[in-house]
A and B are shown apart, each in its own frame.
Chain A
């Protein structure tokens, strides 16, 4: 599924963020006229029609788009019926993880936050969850606080999840400012790739990052912030997986949940493919041991981005269908699988490489 598309270029046209409607448009709405072709009717007197490409024919009323006619570009900001809406904050980052799926760029992209703040009041109040991602969202400082406040004000029933490397939370003040907003349902997901400082620092390519992240997690816990820790399993991390589980259970037992994640074959992963790739079948013993450690310590644990046929049956209940719908695919091996519906499948990028042990699961389907 494409979230970006080309549209006819029009010089001097303003860039705008708008919600689509099929009824009478209110102030921030534009009329979506579905058909062949589908087009957007912009303005009232006189109005202009912007023709949409076939790839965006899935758009529906309530969805939000950013239209840049000057550059001939349209981007889907929000899809009302998707459970995977992402607020993309920035391309900038203070780490450079070996397997980053969104390679950082040192560019001025503050306009992204402006658009997010414009879009939030247009979103449906029934939105179940929003995901803040980047880049590193905490680099936005006060503007991050603005977004959290805006979601609390406009979307009081929407839970909010932010991915952050946690390093800037080593400053107690930032942790406190986040806590003071008192967002009712806000979780911060923070990766911890090893129990050994140098190994984590190597994975994120930043000396001292482990200390900063651990201090950040401790600060967030002190202010009562809900925390998820994440661990991406690949060749450079898998041998410390169970140790890291023990480390978290022993030192950070207050974390609200832990996500153990499969590798996404995109971004910088492609540049480091041979250093990172490991067939998931090879690390199943470490994965089982880590889950066992977390279960013993009563730390809720989930498995993301893994195909059920590679996992012990005992792990199925904690395997989540975690891959965003727009990049989620299945392989030819999956066609005859009885439990495909329960399985999270693959990232579209997995066509590059995936486990040699994918096998359709027979027998009765899972209840």
Chain B
């Protein structure tokens, strides 16, 4: 009875049904008594075991607060309404809206030559032999033609190496050619560089063609120089000066930095983060070292166990949050990406965490020698003699590369929605498929979830974020400002 309701009106109970059915949900234990329950669109709810038990046994009291909450978030449905299912479908479509728009990221490996000899580096050669390790104009022309066959309206060209600036003439050639042929498409150019060979001429060209830079910054000088040796041991000084010059000429946000974590880094997340703050960056990506190229060979020296990385990540994240609470605005990039997936209905385009996997459909890599790979890591494996992710050559047709290679079967075989261990995991909506990693570490593209470092790392980070959102209101408030 609604007190005070005029008798000519109908009571609430008239509009309510008295039973419910379940919508597709997945659940996973969070800690001793709590579960993460999620639906296919990525709405999640942390529930006590008893409530979850009641939910799935259809014993949840109808129209109680938790019932209403689960109904509004598409965990259950009743006869009051059938529009929630439409909303769920719309959200699922939104999450996958990027799929028809392949392939947007194109990596041009314009040279393998480099002036650095980093401990973890995957592919670079310290060599003067241009002929052996530089991409030719002819190869570049073919790669551009292939790229322009992608249906995507937005294309991003990323120059990779080696140190791509050592072959700047080819970068200039490719940029001008792409602009000439782009035909109204939205183009973006990024040079991934250690910034050591940066010149005023390069800066002028970048300014004229709106080219961005992405660089490596591993932390304070001693750590950075130790990870990234070059003659003179001045890598850090050079990258800092490069960052400043780019910002002066192109604007503060024209350069982004990425860190790679080595065993040495794991001891000092705070110092690394402080260095990013000192240099005026508003985000830092606490990145796992990838098991490719030289990184695998020198694994004993620079590598570490997954659990050590997770501890590093948590400690770093806590420190970043504490900086935010002191008024210093800086975000952790990986957490930001996951939080966007957990807390907003929008799709996020991070190549390494997509299902279907991002290989080929999110990224293509054109190697200096004209080989085409489904991922940057794919060409790194190839440098070690493993050609699994080679799709073909720039001389092949677009159709041959996509349809006449193992790409499509690999993508369909590794969709999380059909993988044992993934298909019923509550974290699936936030996660992705990484066939290159599993091929490298476990010998097949599908892999074995219980022993997968990828799975362990991501599950632990996601659980950690959910616990922070649930249990630490101050931290949660900071995390929510990142999305």
- Chain A residues within 8 Å of B, Cβ to Cβ: 96, 98, 195-199, 201-202, 205, 207, 210-211, 214-215, 218, 236, 240, 243, 246-247, 249-251, 253, 268, 271-277, 296-297
Contact = CB atoms under 8 A, between A and B. Distances in A.
Contacts of A274: 3-4
B9 A211 contact: no
Interface string B85-112: 0110011000000000000000000000
A252 B91 CA distance: 10
B72 A205 contact: no
A218 B90 contact: yes
Contacts of A96: 9
30 contacts: A98-B5, A196-B68, A196-B72, A196-B80, A197-B15, A197-B81, A198-B15, A198-B16, A198-B17, A198-B63, A198-B80, A202-B14, A205-B10, A211-B82, A211-B83, A214-B83, A215-B83, A218-B86, A236-B2, A249-B344, A250-B344, A250-B345, A253-B344, A272-B4, A272-B9, A274-B4, A275-B4, A275-B6, A296-B483, A297-B344
A277 B83 CA distance: 30
A247 B80 contact: no
Nearest to B43: A250
B247 to A, nearest CB: 27
A254 to B, nearest CB: 10
A296 B345 CA distance: 13
A275 B16 contact: no
Main secondary structure of the interface of B (DSSP, over half): loop
Interface residues of B, number: 35
A249 B87 CA distance: 12
B69 interface: yes
Interface string B1-37: 0111110111110111100000000000000000000
Contacts of A247: 72
Interface in B64-84: 68-69, 71-73, 80-84
Contacts of B344: 249-250, 253, 297
B345 A215 contact: no
A285 B344 CA distance: 23
Q: Which residue of A202, A214, A271, A273 has the most chain B CB atoms within 10 A of its CB atom?
A: A202
Contact of A197 (B14, B43, B80, B480): B80
Contacts of B346: 253
A273 B15 contact: no
A272 B2 CA distance: 10
Nearest to B7: A271
Given A195-B68, A197-B15, 6 more contacts: A96-B9, A201-B15, A202-B15, A250-B73, A274-B3, A296-B483
Given A251-B345, A276-B4, A202 B90 contact: no
Nearest to A271: B6
